[in-house]
Amino acid sequence: MTQTLLDVRGLRTVFETRAGRVCAVDGVDVTVQRGECLGVVGESGSGKSVTFSSVMGLVKSPGRVDEGTISFDGRDLRALSPAEMRAVRGRDIAMTMQDALTALNPALTVGEQIAEVLEAHDETLPPRGAARRAAIRAKSVEMLGLVGIPSAENRLRQYPHEFSGGMRQRIMIAIALACRPKLLIADEPTTALDVTIQAQVLELISDIRARLGMSVVLITHDLGVVAEHCDRVMVMYAGQVVEEGPTAQVIGDPQHPYTQGLLASIPRPGLRGQPIRPIEGQVPDLIGLAPQCRFYSRCTRRTDACLAPVEMRAAGPNRRARCILIEEDRA
Partner 1 sequence: MSLLTVENLSKHYEGRRSLVERLTGVPQTVVRAVNGIDLTVEKGEILGLIGESGCGKSTLGRAILRLHEPTTGKVTFDGTDVTALDAAGLKAMRRRMQIIFQDPYASLNPRRTVAQIVGLPLKLHGLAQTDDEARAIVARICERVGLKANQLDRYPHQFSGGQRQRIGIARALVSNPEFIVCDEPVSALDVSIQAQIIALLLELKREMGLTYLFISHDISVIGYLADRVAVMYLGEIVEMGPVEAILANPRHPYTQSLMSAVPEVDHAGRRARVRLAGDLPSPLNPPAGCKFHTRCPLAVEACRSRAPVTETVGPGHSAACHRLAENLSLLEGTPA
Partner 2 sequence: MSLTETTPQTHAADSLFRRNLAMFAANRLAMASAVVVVLFVVMAIFAPWIAPHDPNETDLFRRLQPPGWAPGGEWAYLLGCDALGRDILSRIIYGARISIFIGLAVIVVATMIGILAGLASGYLRGWVDVVISRIVDILLGFPYLIFAIGLMAMMGPGLWNIILALAYKEWVIPARVVRGETLATRELEYVEAARALGASRWHIMLREILPNILSPVIVVSTIRMAHVIILEASLSFLGLGVQPPTASWGSMVADGRAFILEAWWVSTFPGLAILLLVLAINVASQGLRDAFDPRFAE
Q: Please report, as ranges, the residues that interact with partner 1 according to CB under 8 A.
A: 43-44, 164-167, 194-200, 202-203, 206, 221-225, 227-229, 247-248, 251-252, 261-263, 265-272, 275-280, 282-283
Q: Residue 77's binding partner, choosing from partner 2, partner 1, none, with beta-carbon cut-off 5 to 8 A by kind?
A: none
What part of residues 13-32 is at the interface with partner 2 (CB under 8 A)? 15, 17, 19, 22, 24
H or E stretch at 15: strand 4-17
Quick note: the x/- pattern for partner 2 over 87-126, rule CB under 8 A, is ----------x-----------------------------
Q: What is the dihedral of CA 203, 206, 212, 218, to 10 degrees?
A: 130
Q: Which residues pair with 67 in a beta bridge?
A: 12
Answer whether 41's CB lies under 8 Å from 49's CB. no
The alpha-carbon radius of gyration of the chain (Å, integer) is 21
Q: Residue 17's binding partner, choosing from partner 1, partner 2, none, with beta-carbon cut-off 5 to 8 A by kind?
A: partner 2
Q: Residue 279's binding partner, choosing from partner 2, partner 1, none, with beta-carbon cut-off 5 to 8 A by kind?
A: partner 1
Quick note: the x/- pattern for partner 2 over 271-290, rule CB under 8 A, is --------------xxx---
d(CA 56, CA 265): 33
Sequence letter at residue 288: G
Q: Pick left, alpha or beta for residue 151 (phi over 0 → left; psi -120 to 50 → alpha; otherwise beta).
A: left
Answer whether 228's CB lies under 8 Å from 238's CB. no
Residue 58 in the binding site for partner 2 (CB under 8 A): yes
Answer whether 322's CB lies under 8 Å from 258's CB. no
Q: Residue 198's binding partner, choosing from partner 1, partner 2, none, with beta-carbon cut-off 5 to 8 A by kind?
A: partner 1
Sign of the alpha-carbon dihedral angle for 128, 131, 133, 139: negative
Residue count of the chain: 331
Q: Return phi, psi of residue 209, to 5°.
A: -60, -45
Q: Residue 289's binding partner, choosing from partner 1, partner 2, none, with beta-carbon cut-off 5 to 8 A by kind?
A: none
What part of residues 223-252 is at the interface with partner 2 (CB under 8 A)? none
Judged by CB, which is closer to partner 1: 126, or 278?
Answer: 278
Judged by CB, which is closer to partner 1: 55, or 220?
Answer: 220
Q: Residue 39's binding partner, choosing from partner 1, partner 2, none, with beta-carbon cut-off 5 to 8 A by kind?
A: none
Interface ranges with partner 2 (CB under 8 A): 15, 17, 19, 22, 24, 44-45, 47, 49-50, 53, 58, 60, 63, 97, 187, 285-287
